[in-house]
Every structure is written in C-alpha cells, then in structure tokens.
Amino acid sequence: MKRLCLVLCTATGLLAALPASAQFQKPEDAIKYRKAAFTVMANHFGRIGAMANGKAPFDAKAAAENAALVAELASLPGTAFGPGTDKGETRAKPEIWTESDKFKAGMSKMVEETARLNAAARTGDLAQLKTAFGAAAQTCKSCHDNFRKE
Amino acid sequence: MKRLCLVLCTATGLLAALPASAQFQKPEDAIKYRKAAFTVMANHFGRIGAMANGKAPFDAKAAAENAALVAELASLPGTAFGPGTDKGETRAKPEIWTESDKFKAGMSKMVEETARLNAAARTGDLAQLKTAFGAAAQTCKSCHDNFRKE
C-alpha cells in the first residue's frame, strides 16, 4: 500500500509538473525563454518607471499599454524553472529550488503587484501609478536579491 | 520655402520615429529586446503549431491563450530595428534597412496573420486553427528567408 501510494504520489507530482515543463524540449530552452520573458517585461516596466520617476513625460495611454503587457508577461517566466534548469547560461541561485515555496511566493507576489499596476495605470492617475509601480518594483528587487546571482 | 519644408519634413520624420527608438538607451538594448520578444513569441507559436500539426493533443483553451499572447507580442519586435541596430549580436541582414519598405510590409503581414490566428483560435475549431497557423507561419518563414542570416 505504501509503495502504491509512493508510485501514485510520484506520478501525480509528475503530471502536475507536466504542463509547464512539457512546453520546453530541453532545459536550455526553458532558460532562454524565461530570460527573454524577463527582458521584454523589464523593458516595458522600465518605460512605466521612467514616467513614475519623472524621467519621461507622463503619457496615460502609453502607461496603460505598457502595464497591460507587463501584467501579461509576469506570469510567463515562473513556468520555466523546472528540473534541470539550474545549470547553464543562468544567474539563477540554487535557492530557487532549495527554497522553492519562498521563490514561488515571490513570483506570485510579482504577478499580483503587476496586476495592481495594470489596474492603477488604467485609472490614468499618475499618483496611483507611482504607488503601484513602487510596490511592483519591490517584488522585482526582492527576488533579485534572494534568487539571482550578481 | 523648399528648405523650410525639408526641415519640417525631416523633423516630422524624426518625431515619428522617436516613440520606438527612444524606448532603448543603446542599440544593443534594442537588439536584446527584439530577440527576446521573438524568443517568447516563437515558443508560444510553437505550442500552437504542435497542436495544429498533431504533435500535441488539441486543447482549445490553451490554443486560445497562446494565440492571444502571440498576437500581442507580434507588434513588439518591429519597434526595435532603429538606426545602429544592424551591428552586434544580431543575425539581421542589411536588407532590413536597405529594403526597409519590404521589411516593414513583412512585419505588418505577421501582425495581421497573428491577429487572424488569434481570432481562429477563439472559435475553438481545430480546422480553422490549422489554416490560420499555416498562414502565420508563412510570414515567419518569409522574413527569415529574406532578412535573417543563417
């Protein structure tokens, strides 16, 4: 019985992991994908940041477009930290896998705060955008500090 | 008058070009960005392709989600082929700039066909998805053949 349970649990675990990791043929594909998703996201997040920090004129329409894109992209990289993606062309720290719950919570927080940023951007109000941008930026920093090598 | 017109036209041209290239501090940032956008897009496009080509089971919901993302990403890389981005870590051929109208038409066609793919995916009909996927894939191939080095 114990053995059956172990087999079933392992199988269930594998199945649960399948949808994400099955999207990548090789670990290096997943690494390339997640880095690319972060690159595009960071660019558009930075465009909002320039407005939030007064380095670019506030353009409500552009802010909303960028925030919508950031919110959509935010959910992508988290699918690409499957088994075997800890080695290679990556600055990912081992803690991503050894402190997996903490990492997943950090990723969820990012998804949550970028959704808030999207909502804030749609109001067209710069003060709300600034607040939401700061909170979202904090989730980037937190994960970089804990889970990304220099 | 002729000279004034020339100045104004040049200025207008510069302004029209500004929104895109102003988003990148350095040419290498634009190159990194466009490659990243293509990487993420290609991954999600490939997921649809696997279903369209019978290599993965057809999942209408997943197809629609991937197609929506592809359609959104399709408009991004075209903004990152500004001046100075022909050199460096890129397989971009000089024809992108010497045959700029043809290149832009190709990019527009991609945006158009991925929008059609998105609409087809939302019908939940595999036959429609297959047709639209084929047409969109043709726009990728055409640009790669003409504008990307091996």
pLDDT tens track for B79-119: 999 999 999 999 999 999 999 999 999 999 999 999 999 99
Tokens of B118: 């998105």
B97 found inside a domain:
yes
Q: In terms of CA atoms, which chain A residue is nearest residue B59?
A: A19
Q: Taking 90 as the threshold, does the pLDDT of residue A23 lie above it?
A: no
**Does residue B107 sit within a domain?**
yes
- B11 lies in some domain: no
Q: How far apart are the first and last CA of chain B?
A: 48
d(CA A64, CA A87): 36
Structural domain boundaries enclosing A30: 25-147
Residue A49: closest C-alpha in chain B:
B23
Q: Write the DSSP assignment of A15-36 as a string of letters.
A: HHHHHHHTT-SSHHHHHHHHHH
Position B7 in a domain:
no
- What ipTM was assigned to the predicted interfaces of this complex? 0.86
Residue A13 lies inside a defined structural domain of this protein: no
Residue A12: is its pLDDT beyond 60? no
- Whole-angstrom Cα distance, residue A93 to residue A95? 5
Nearest residue, CB atoms, A40 vs list B24, B40, B47: B40
Is residue B99 a part of any domain in this protein? yes
Is the Cβ–Cβ distance between B110 and B117 less than 8 Å? Answer: no
Would the pLDDT of A74 be above 90? yes
The predicted pLDDT at position A22 comes to: 62
CB-nearest partner of B32 from A33, A37, A39 = A39
Dump pLDDT digits (tens) for B125-149.
Answer: 999 999 999 999 999 999 999 999 9
Residues of B in Cβ contact (< 8 Å) with A24: 43
Residues of B in contact with A40 (CB under 8 A): 33, 36-37, 40, 73, 76
**A129: domain CATH number?**
1.20.120.10
Whether the Cβ atoms of residue A147 and residue A96 lie closer than 8 Å to each other: yes
Long-range contacts of A105-109 (CB under 8 A, 24+ apart): A106/A139, A106/A142, A106/A143, A106/A146, A106/A147, A107/A77, A107/A78, A107/A143, A109/A139, A109/A142
The answer on pLDDT for B24 being more than 60 is yes
Asked if the structure places residue A107 within a domain, the reply is yes
CA distances from A124 to A103, A115, A127 (A): 32, 15, 9
Residue A32 with chain B: CB contacts under 8 Å = 39
Mean pLDDT of chain A: 89
